[in-house]
Structure 1
Amino acid sequence: MPDRAHLTFALTLHDAVAPDRASNACWSPYSVASALGMAAQAARGETEAELVALLGTDHAKVLKGAVVGDDAEFAVANTLWAWEGLPVNDGFLTDLAGWPGAKVRSAPFAADPEGARKLINADVAETTHQLIPELLAPGHITSDTVATLVNALYLKAAWTAEFPEHDTADLPFRGAGTVPTMRREGTVRYGRAAGWQAVAVPARGGVEAVVLLPDDELGGTEGVPEALGALDRERVELFLPKLDLSVNVTLGSALRQVGVRAIFTDAADLTGLSPDPRLYVDEVVHEAVLRLDEQGFEGAAATAVVMRMTSFVPDEPARTVRVDRPYLLLVRHVDTGAIFFLAQVAKP
């Protein structure tokens, strides 16, 4: 049963991350929630409470339960990069070991911040199959950095039934001229509610891509849970644009908007990670890549929490869904509802 709190987290943060509905956006709720979930285990008091209020009390269970089947490619790493001089609590290391792909690595933040940045970027690039070669740009790591929590993921899955390549054609898309658009007809899960149409396209590995097409202009995310709840099997003729998105963003401002504030201040309490009371989060850096074509989809994402110290049924008629205007796209784990990617597509 998909977790409602995780969906609420994703939609709440999306509205803060991508307020401009006329622009493309792409990010990974799974990656961001994993990095913030590790930060929540490091946090205490109000700092922890604000993170849990956003993520939901069962966030770790949802993320750890999102196991992708062997018939899809999936890689995930959750890494604590720590300065050699930072004391780290054994209890935090025990908690970290419960996350998928958990690792602890040292980085020369004080002596060689540029070297530390390159070390982290190289590790992210390896996990993401080189789709994200430089998560951290110059300046994100400084000599004041003492720890960085990093989640990186890679997902590649084929559709359970491909879109025939000979049916792909250039078709109109509102605001973007004509774009290469795929076509497939078959029985999938379809729902309509609260101003949205939803079409869930199944992929291998227990994953699906859910197209969320608004009845009119793309506005807020109100009504999305109702549309997802209305999904039921129906024969659908789906026209869906091919997609290739890559977005790098900083999330500090968006997180403050949705109530995560203490962790970015001198009042931050991260003593679950280290007894040193001076730790605070300087910034949360995120990048996501998502590609979608006739065979399936490929995506990668990475999130860094950078810490510093102060100082088919042929007799049924098919319903036609033309994705010819801005829409939302979820790539999610079917059983848990963990959202690997959330894209806002204004110009495919």
Structure 2
Amino acid sequence: MDVPHLEFTLSLLRELPAGRNFAWSPYSVAAALGIASAGARGRTYDELASAIAPNGDLGEVAAVLARSARIDGPPGGDGAEMAVANDLWMQGGLAFSEEFQKTVLSWPGGALHTADFAGDPDGARQEINRDVERTTRGLIKDLLADGTIHRDVAAVIVNALYMKVAWLNVFERTITKPASFHAPSGTRQVPMMRQSEHFGYTEGHGWRMATLPTEGDAMVDVLLPDGDLAAAERALTADVLGSLYADRGEAKLDLALPRFRIEGAAILNEPLQALGVNEAFTREADFSAITEEMRIWIDQVVHKAVLTVDERGFEGAAATAVVMMPMSLDLSTPVPFLVDRPFLVIVRHQQTGAVYFVARVIEP
């Protein structure tokens, strides 16, 4: 498990909208900011690197993201699909560093595009949105809202991510029945999937965690707190989660898990500033490794994500845009694991530990 990436995931999670359903992709955000960091210098670079890789090395995190950019399924199977795009959209006529362009191309799915931000900003916005929609198989629409792109934009860095993976052991749809889920707004009936099978399992530090295997190199952790989710989530650290992963064994679980679809959308400027990324959003920013023709800074970091879990598996998509402006174990009796109250879901890469998605499920 890559600890810096896990620390980034949990640190930013604490700054995102709380108390309601929300899904986001640490992978997508880290990739988009990682590319921007490659063009930063001085304090601008230091602040970005410290946020993305707390107490770690930004290059190591970038390597983890690159290694986890594919999820291989069984030979001849169709149980795992993944698409990753990392795009740099540049205002035509501006001089962008060749070294930075090579860096973008070195990322999984790296591509370069020119755009007419100055002459047709809304047309450029729609073109970026269409490209994101294609990569995410139509799940992320209109990443950039009206007015996000205007004549002064110099560049936009975009990461788009799509995943669709089948469970190693699918849930029988005929067994899914309405059952009670105890949400803050009250108890209500939700479609509850059920399965009695061997899963990764551990408990401790105020959590119970079941890990569902898939047909690809992705794993899905369902974290059920002993008490209130909001309080437990605030106390969840990389050390605690790392300890749960390290202590995980195997148990036969009588698992009951809601079928759900969770979405999320946010402007990440303030959450990132809470993590210490400040200079990048000001006119003091140093992105001179992107272009020396003018000083540029980050205007907005826009993010959208969706995660769907059903009987067959999960499907997730996310996109992040960095808009840049110029200045110029077996048990005889199965362990009950009834997910009937708010919980967290983490989708991660098995080998590297890269976190693709985090979803807070309050009202499935």
- TM-score using structure 2 length: 0.92
1:8-67 Cα shifts (integer Å, max 9, x gaps): 11000000013x2x2011000000000010011011111111111111211101100103
Aligned partner (choices 116, 119, 136) of residue 144 of structure 2: 136
In the other structure, the counterpart of 1:162 is 170
Match for 1:242: what amino acid? R
**Mapped pair 1:344 → 2:346:** no
User: What's the % identity of the aligned pairs?
Assistant: 40
In the other structure, the counterpart of 1:202 is 213
Q: Which 5+ residue runs of structure 2 have no aligned equivalent?
A: 74-78
Match for 1:4: what amino acid? V
What is the CA–CA distance in structure 2 between the aligned matches of 1:311 and 1:89, rounded to whole Å?
Answer: 16
What is the CA–CA distance in structure 2 between the aligned matches of 1:229 and 1:174, rounded to whole Å?
Answer: 30
Deviates more, 1:120-129 or 1:185-194: 185-194
Which residues in structure 2 correspond to 1:1-348 (within 5 Å)? 2-18=1-17, 20=18, 22-56=19-53, 57=57, 58-66=60-68, 67-70=70-73, 71-175=79-183, 177-218=188-229, 219=231, 220=234, 221-222=236-237, 223-310=240-327, 316-348=332-364
Q: Which 5+ residue runs of structure 1 have no aligned equivalent?
A: none
- 1:276 Cα offset (Å): 3.0
- 1:309 Cα offset (Å): 1.2
In the other structure, the counterpart of 2:76 is none
1:141-192 Cα shifts (integer Å, max 9, x gaps): 0111110000001100000000111221111111251211111111111011
Aligned alpha-carbon RMSD (Å)? 1.4
- 1:224 Cα offset (Å): 3.0
Match for 2:9: what amino acid? A
Number of matched pairs: 344
What is the CA–CA distance in structure 2 between the aligned matches of 1:328 and 1:346, rounded to whole Å?
Answer: 9
What is the CA–CA distance in structure 2 between the aligned matches of 1:273 and 1:346, rounded to whole Å?
Answer: 41
- 1:270 Cα offset (Å): 0.5
Contact 2:211–2:219 at 8 Å: present in 1 too?
Answer: yes
What is the CA–CA distance in structure 2 between the aligned matches of 1:260 and 1:316, rounded to whole Å?
Answer: 51
- 1:205 Cα offset (Å): 1.3
Contact 2:296–2:328 at 8 Å: present in 1 too?
Answer: no
- 1:310 Cα offset (Å): 2.5
What is the CA–CA distance in structure 2 between the aligned matches of 1:166 and 1:77, rounded to whole Å?
Answer: 37
- 1:282 Cα offset (Å): 0.3
- 1:138 Cα offset (Å): 0.2
- 1:312 Cα offset (Å): 10
What is the CA–CA distance in structure 1 between the aligned matches of 2:328 and 2:110, rounded to whole Å?
Answer: 30
- 1:94 Cα offset (Å): 1.7
Contact 1:193–1:230 at 8 Å: present in 2 too?
Answer: no
What is the CA–CA distance in structure 2 between the aligned matches of 1:170 and 1:45, rounded to whole Å?
Answer: 56
